[in-house]
Structure 1
Amino acid sequence: MKILVIEDEKPAARRLIQLIKERMPEAEIYDSIDTVTAAVRWLESNPRPDLVFLDIQLADGISFEIFEKVKVTAPIIFCTAFDQYAIKAFKLNSIDYLLKPVDPEELTNALNKFKSGLREPVISLEHIRSLIQPPPKSFKTRFLVKIGERIQTVDVQNIAFFYSEDKVTFLQSRAGKKYIIDYTLDELEEMVSPDTFFRLNRKYISAISAIKDVFTYSNSRLKIHLENCADNDILISREKMGAFKSWLGQ
């Protein structure tokens, strides 16, 4: 029995190998590999193992990338730190996934299942991805604002920026109208798409459409002018400058 272990956490790899040897003394552990790149290289240049223990998050990426670069015909037992509900879903599909830290009894059950004759995964890579990867995050498309006794909505595409002043948060539209809203800037940062909005500093979150001018400033900072904004001292720190430039040019 030849077993390949692909795991980027050395203590976890050592423990897994020890547990395997205790349960299968006859097993020959081929190797312990910690990256997608090394795993692909090994699988391309070595005989097919009888069984592969595969971590999901490796040092240089997600282990599913291995399947995209090389054909893997050996049966696989995944070892993962993802939550137990996903693990149970996988087991319903007759593939074993061990939750880290690996429970010895779970490992024994997985090895027994392998010995009983399971040789090929019965669910697709796409199915595995859909169970592990969280659904795409949704962002708000409009905000409620109050004007006197009336409540109306402002669509996100009509928002120029949000800003905070005297502990009050304002939404300013592209037409220059401003409204008080019941969210902090920290909350708003999670509600709007990072493709469209950027947290400039502690006081401003701006839509890319509202960026009028960008100037270099002292101390490796940037100064921003926003449309219909009287504040001419909006600064981006040196720490945020790289992220801001990437966002601006994406």
Structure 2
Amino acid sequence: MRAVIIEDESLIAEEMKANIAAVADDVQVIEMLPSLKTARRWFMNNAAPDLLFMDIRLSDGLSFELFDEFTLNCPVIFCTAYEEYAIRAFKVNGVDYLLKPVQEEDLKKAIDKVRSMQENKNFVPGDLQQLVQYFSNPLLSKVQYKERFVINSGNKWAPVETRAIALFYKDNLNYVYTFNGDRFIYDFSALEDIEEVLDPAIFFRANRQAIINIHSIQSVKPHGNQKLVVQLKQPLKLEIDISREKAPLFKKWIDR
């Protein structure tokens, strides 16, 4: 299969290409396109590939704009920072969705799914248009995120508005930090459970231990091996590490 990657972060695109080669030797990446502009130019002069890997939010717009301008009947695997629960119900034939950073096991399953559908000739490109309409309509795609959390405060329970939370942190215990510096214990089994109910435009999963609010960030400084260190605003005065793998996603998330 001939494949094209549309991704505006060069590090992510190169990593995706390497991962594809590792899990599917029958898939040849023939082009990596870093923007809508370059993608438009490429599709004007080339036929659609057998498979597309597409980021959703590019530096110059949404990748869905390509479907308004070109007839792309090939299967598409979206590689996105959207939360999995928000798009789970919209999985359709021949299309899959990988959350960044993409794991090799998930990538292999997605390619196997596309390969199987092509072999059985049951890929229906019309379903892709339903997904495009979904993301293009803000009323239909509006997701309800959790508005408040009930935390332990002494011997009492107390509601804390989500917008007042600067940081979720998992250590020996699970903590919620508010912007005024208070720290509360909150009962959750995994950060994944919290991540699924938060607005991804406001909250970012920094690492295995922390989810940070964009409004809590004081500064960001580079660290060794392409890592980042996030300094949170006072009175928190905490430093949160961003891994090399997540650094490009973080930069894209904060610079929008």
Which residue number in structure 2 is paired with residue 203 of structure 1? 209
Gaps of 5+ in 2: 4-38, 57-63, 77-90, 94-116, 123-127
The 1:222–1:153 alpha-carbon spacing in structure 2 relative to 1, beyond 3 Å, is same
Deviations 1:134-169 (A, max 9, x none): 844332121111223432211111111111121x21
The 1:152–1:127 alpha-carbon spacing in structure 2 relative to 1, beyond 3 Å, is same
Instruction: Kindly tell me the number of residue pairs found equivalent between the two proteins.
Output: 177
Which residues in structure 2 correspond to 1:69-88 (within 5 Å)? Answer: 69=69
Question: What CA distance in whole angstroms lies between the structure 1 residues aligned with 2:92 and 2:40?
Answer: 22
Which residue number in structure 2 is paired with residue 46 of structure 1? none
Which residue number in structure 2 is paired with residue 174 of structure 1? 179
> What displacement does 1:39 show?
8.5
SS at match of 1:238: coil
Which residue number in structure 2 is paired with residue 156 of structure 1? 162
CA contact (8 A) 2:179 2:236 kept: no
> What displacement does 1:188 show?
1.3
The percentage of counterpart residues that share the same residue type is 27
1:68 equivalent in alignment to 2:74: no
CA contact (8 A) 2:134 2:141 kept: no
SS at match of 2:246: helix
CA contact (8 A) 2:52 2:75 kept: no
Which residue number in structure 1 is paired with residue 22 of structure 2? none
The 1:218–1:41 alpha-carbon spacing in structure 2 relative to 1, beyond 3 Å, is closer
Gaps of 5+ in 1: 1-7, 10-34, 43-56, 73-77, 85-99, 107-124
The 1:40–1:204 alpha-carbon spacing in structure 2 relative to 1, beyond 3 Å, is same
CA contact (8 A) 2:135 2:141 kept: no
Question: What CA distance in whole angstroms lies between the structure 2 residues aligned with 1:161 and 1:102?
Answer: 47
Which residue number in structure 1 is paired with residue 32 of structure 2? none
1:194 corresponds to which letter in structure 2?
A: P
TM-score under structure 2 length normalisation: 0.49
1:234 equivalent in alignment to 2:220: no
Question: Could you say which structure has the greater relative contact order, defined with CA pairs below 8 angstroms and 6 or more residues apart?
Answer: 2
CA contact (8 A) 2:150 2:158 kept: yes
Which residue number in structure 2 is paired with residue 218 of structure 1? 224
- The Cα RMSD (Å) is 4.7
Question: What CA distance in whole angstroms lies between the structure 2 residues aligned with 1:174 and 1:206?
Answer: 11
The 1:36–1:101 alpha-carbon spacing in structure 2 relative to 1, beyond 3 Å, is farther
CA contact (8 A) 1:198 1:205 kept: yes
1:146 equivalent in alignment to 2:152: yes
